Structure 1
Amino acid sequence: MGNSTHQNTKYWLIPEFDNLELFRAKALRFSYARHSHPSYSIGIIEAGVGGNYYQGTTYLAPPKSVIFMNPEEAHTGYSAEELPLTYRMLYPSIDFIQQIAAEVQIDGFPYFRDAVVQNEVLSRSVFSLHAVLEYSQERLEQQSLLVEVLSAILLHHATLKTCSIRLNKEHQAVRLIKEYLPG
């Protein structure tokens, strides 16, 4: 992580949902260096403006925005403007997303088309899901809402793309560089 002032953050995971990772930050001023996640990244902005550099473009996400990032795609993250940022993130695994995709008859590798979506209804749905995953002890309630929200996201905001081929090419490039280097 780069520069940050953490006022209130929480990170946890839920093993029952393929180690679903969750993160919540309140009143945060931060700047994350370029990094990637092995999972999908789905988040909402509650207050402040989030910024990131992703896929060659700078994105700004005001309140009620929904953020989507695909696995292994490098990005930065920062609180834009002088206001502290409050946001929530979910990091579902590739396998978990593919299971949900199969349930709604999506075959292949789901790929998010847009990094930031302005959709107040979807933002409220993701917020409700995140809150249920944080506070409810009822696994059936958690699972039902998780499947419902992720299914809607996949049906309305994902397309199919052969990302795995691109990832394999990146890995092949690393292998070729290692073979070229002495030692």
Structure 2
Amino acid sequence: MSKNKIHALADVQSSDIGNDTYVWQFTVILSNAKIGDNCNINCNCFIENDVIIGNNVTIKSGVQIWDGVRIEDNVFVGPNVTFTNDLIPRSKVYPKEFKQTILKTGSSIGANSTIVAGIEIGEMAFVGAGSVLTKSIAPYTVWYGNPAIQRGFITEESILLDMNLKDKNTGERYYLEGFKPVKK
């Protein structure tokens, strides 16, 4: 039996909500959406039908998650992040299928960012507040701006590194193993 906490003023039509997931007031979740365990869906959010959200995900206030968005485990989506799912939107004209957007495990999207349809945000990647992300980004990279460009890297411990893989605070050097920055 699910032990989720759904506020009385939320409209949750889906029965596929994981244990210990909290849904705040004035949020609408349509019937086919799938949401994992231990998530926090803040107030004033809208989650469409063809959406899959993993475990331990935080969705802050004012976020609409449209058909085709896939959010893996441990992802943070900041307040008022905007997702799109149609590259050529027209009133009353619908594509055969919506573009799929994937947020990989541990990624973070800053407040007021716009995520253009059909891209993948790599594992642990970090998108700064107010960014417009127009293309897929690699794991452990840091992006911000309009349009967003790569500004550095981020470690498992959330240490920000510059483009030369140096810690911005200590100057300590890291090295890439695959996509992952590590100390040697």
TM-score normalized by structure 2? 0.25
More helix by share: 1
The structure, 1 or 2, with the larger RCO (C-alpha pairs under 8 Å, 6+ apart) is 1
More strand by share: 1
TM-score normalized by structure 1? 0.25
